Amino acid sequence: MAYNTDTHAVAVAHGHATFMGIDNRKMAFWAFIGSECLLFGSLISTYLVYKGRSLTGPYPHEILNIPFTSFSTFDLLMSSLAMVLALAAIQRGDMKQGKLWLLITALLGLVFLGGQFWEFSHFVHEGLGLTTNLFGSTFYVLTGTHGAHVTVGVIWLLTLWIQAMRGKLGPGNALTVEITGLYWHFVDVVWIVIFTVVYLIQ
């Protein structure tokens, strides 16, 4: 029984290799990202289907701020760069750089969230609420769901950073950081699509 408990503890800490030689945690996370594709696919589809069908304003071209959103896009792209640099540093055992890039990634995520909060506040002030028109409903649900994902990502990144600062994250946990990175980059690619479909193609 003691042997089984120890084996289980080791398995939880290091994951299992599947029969294909792939780590089970990474495989499960890619499957999760696949399911997220369907979630965001349905939200983006809903936005597109109701695009231009609002009977009352404000309309997209009246309130969307392209220069501001371009900055948010740049911010999120740079956070993805910071994330891969964090992973690369941790994989080579450079924890000082790893901690720095993890913190920068989280801070860039917070900047994005601050921008989204400002944008939503501005839109509400301009008269666009969740139930104002079809544009408001589909816009807030789509970008709000994305913002919720960014929030989860920032909390995840800060948790890793705190673990790293306490010396509990090292090169042996590189896969944990890689999985966090997969989530963060997915949030980035979803924004790449939203920026084009919602903001640029009006």
Partner 1 sequence: MSEQAHATTGTYLRVAAILVMITLIEVGVFYVPAFQSAVVPVLLVLSAVKFALVVMFYMHLKFDNRFFTFLFGGPLILALAVAISLMFIFYGAIHLRSGT
By CB under 8 A, name the binding residues for partner 1. Answer: 20-23, 26-27, 30-31, 33-35, 37-38, 40-42, 44-45, 48-49, 66-67, 70, 73-74, 77-78, 80-81, 83-85, 88, 91, 178, 181-182, 185-186, 188-189, 192-193, 195-197, 200-201
Of residues 73 and 143, the one with the C-beta less far from partner 1: 73
Nearest to partner 1 of 124, 182 (CB atom):
182
CB of residue 84 to partner 1, shortest distance in Å: 5
Q: How far is the CB of 61 from partner 1 (least distance, A)?
A: 11
Looking at beta carbons only, is 1 or 55 nearer to partner 1?
A: 55
Structural tokens at position 200: 């640029």
Measured from the Cβ of residue 28, the count of other Cβ atoms closer than 10 Å reads 13
CB proximity list for 40: less than 8 A, separation 6 or greater = 142, 145, 146, 190, 193
Quick check: 45 and 37 in contact, CB under 8 A? no
The CA distance from 124 to 160, in Å, is: 35
Check: CB of residue 69 under 8 Å from CB of residue 195. Answer: yes
> 174 near 90, Cβ under 8 Å?
yes
CB closer to partner 1, 52 vs 114: 52
Q: What is the closest distance, in whole angstroms, from the C-beta atom of residue 54 to partner 1 in the complex?
A: 15
Please provide the size of the chain in residues.
Answer: 202
